[in-house]
Chain A
Amino acid sequence: MNFSTPALPLLTGRGLTKRYDGRGGCVDVDIDIYPGEVLCIVGESGSGKSTLLNALALRTPVNDGTLHYRSVEHELLDLFALPMPRRRMLARTDWGFVHQNARDGLRHGVSAGANIGEPLMANGARHYGRLRETASDWMNQVELDATRIDELPSAFSGGMQQRLQIARNLVTKPRLVFMDEPTAGLDVSVQARLLDLLRTLTAKLHLAALIVTHDIGVARLLAHRLMVMKDGRVVESGLTDQVLDDPQHPYTQTLVASVLPV
């Protein structure tokens, strides 16, 4: 872990509230994400963690709150006031979004190489040869067989599709990646390899990552910091080891106690 990161947060949310017809969602959430850190949001289904993630990634409008992002040029951007073109620009250059289902994050009619190259082409890359080089380089980085670059995503297994999705998100060299349960739906051994890969990549690329998960194991392995959510509110947050070894809130205690020992 790298504790020499600058003290200024990358993304700062204050009082974020998103309700669905006055129910559910998340309420009054304060959040800071620092450069290079992995922050996990854990909680049960319906606790508002995915809503919070979507709100932070500007994929759903909020009812209340403020959200600021520090750009590469150290400019503090008010994200909710940012015009749409800038938002999209940010989303496709500085950010990544890894969906729970690889099928939501991949384009299924085109090959693996085109999937990895698409964000680059969206950013203006117009050289076929270089796109291919980059794509096969990234396939190697996420431990996929680069000779399969011309195969359709459907030809890959679930775990491989998830790696492909990660490659596609990291190819633009983002500073912040949002992940919605990236390992859910994968079997345990595949999960382990993917987690290992994520840990390596986030460290190597000095990537800030916000990972939503209901799996305490994932959080323990990856996260530097942890936020526990229940009924739309953050009930506890702190360093991962601290929260998991000495949970204060009754809900966190239940959560930690309910992990099956192997």
Chain B
Amino acid sequence: MNARIEESAMAEGYNFAYLDEQTKRMIRRALLKAVAVPGHQVPFASREMPLPYGWGTGGLQVTSAIIGRSDTLKVIDQGSDETTNAVNIRRFFARTAGVATTTRTVEASIIQTRHRIPETPLTEAQILVYQVPMPEPLFRLEPRVSESRKLHALADYGLINVKYYEDIVQHGSIATTYDYPVLVNDRYLTSPSPIPKFDNPKMHMNPALQLFGAGRERRIYAIPPYTKVRSLDFEDHPFTIQQWDHECALCGSRDSFLDEMIVDDAGARMFVCSDSDYCQERRAAQEDA
């Protein structure tokens, strides 16, 4: 299998990786604090970025602050390297930083992601940057920001269980399927960003550094390598991940996160891996064999 790293030339007229050096230093300070206090939301002076809020301005700024000339960048959106968001952000850094880009998880040193964690296990040499729309996991439960902060300060997280109680009453099980709140290092309740709960177990004791940037809400937080991450639940309704009756129609995987696609007007469906790189790697390996 050939390496799919693409070398790029840096465009003129921009500072390296778009942001000015002072801004990057400010973000790095926030990142250091975030790593020192796992799961705690650190405020930072989020900048205007050349794309709208909700498109990954937070992740973009974190990536910009940590990327170096020798890095290889991969960007995924819903697991895919080929969606508009992923293509745009990848090209953004190819032009403003002139860094190499790739779609292969194993080749990347920085992976910026929206809504998924790659299926391929990450290593100590990699950094995962999440784009976060709403960093406050108590947002829907406690409308007052001042009160949310107190609840964090006192590690008073009973509210989450009130929500799960209500889910079980209404749906028979905990109905939160994405952005499922986690307790990091037995201390801070943290939003994992809108990844499916299928990916929550991957955050636990992950060798890679996980950084989270929320541009609109101006918060940065982090999960350092090999940190305990626990999904909250009830003793008699434990946390479970999604399962499918199908296998991936393309690569036959039974243990990856599957997307359901409607393929014709008659309603025919097909289940395929959400992680496009994982699916391709598997198919390539099957062809080689």
* Partner-B contacts on A (CB < 8 A): 84-85, 88, 107, 109-111, 113-114, 117-118, 121-129, 131, 150
Contacts and interface: CB of A to CB of B under 8 A. Distances in A.
A113 B166 CA distance: 9
Interface string B156-175: 10110111111011100000
Interface string B227-255: 00000011111000000000000000000
A84 B165 contact: no
A88 B237 CA distance: 28
Given A126-B235, A128-B234, A113 B158 contact: no
Nearest to A128: B234
Nearest to A120: B158
Contacts of A129: 236
A122 B147 CA distance: 14
B154 interface: yes
Contacts of B235: 126-128
Interface residues of B, number: 19
A181 B276 CA distance: 62
Contacts of A150: 169-170
B242 to A, nearest CB: 20
Interface in B202-243: 233-237
Interface in B161-202: 161-166, 168-170
B169 A127 contact: no
B156 A122 contact: yes
B13 to A, nearest CB: 51
A89 B169 CA distance: 28
Given A110-B165, A121-B162, A127 B156 contact: no
Nearest to A149: B169
Interface string B132-166: 00000000000000000010001010110111111
B162 A117 contact: yes
B146 to A, nearest CB: 13
Contacts of A114: 162, 165-166, 169
B165 A117 contact: yes
B169 A121 contact: no
B162 A118 contact: yes
* B150, B154, B234, most chain A CB atoms within 10 A: B234
Contacts of A124: 158
- 3 pairs of A and B residues whose beta carbons are closest in the complex: A122-B158, A121-B158, A121-B161
B154 A85 contact: yes
16 contacts: A85-B154, A88-B154, A109-B166, A110-B166, A111-B166, A114-B162, A121-B158, A124-B158, A125-B161, A126-B233, A126-B235, A127-B235, A127-B236, A128-B168, A128-B234, A128-B237
Given A121-B161, A121-B162, A127-B236, A113 B169 contact: yes
A188 to B, nearest CB: 34
A125 B159 CA distance: 11
A108 to B, nearest CB: 12
Given A85-B154, A88-B154, A121 B236 contact: no
Nearest to B140: A109
Given A114-B165, A122-B159, 19 more contacts: A84-B150, A88-B156, A107-B162, A111-B166, A113-B165, A113-B169, A117-B162, A117-B165, A118-B158, A121-B158, A121-B159, A121-B162, A122-B156, A123-B158, A124-B158, A128-B164, A128-B165, A128-B236, A150-B169
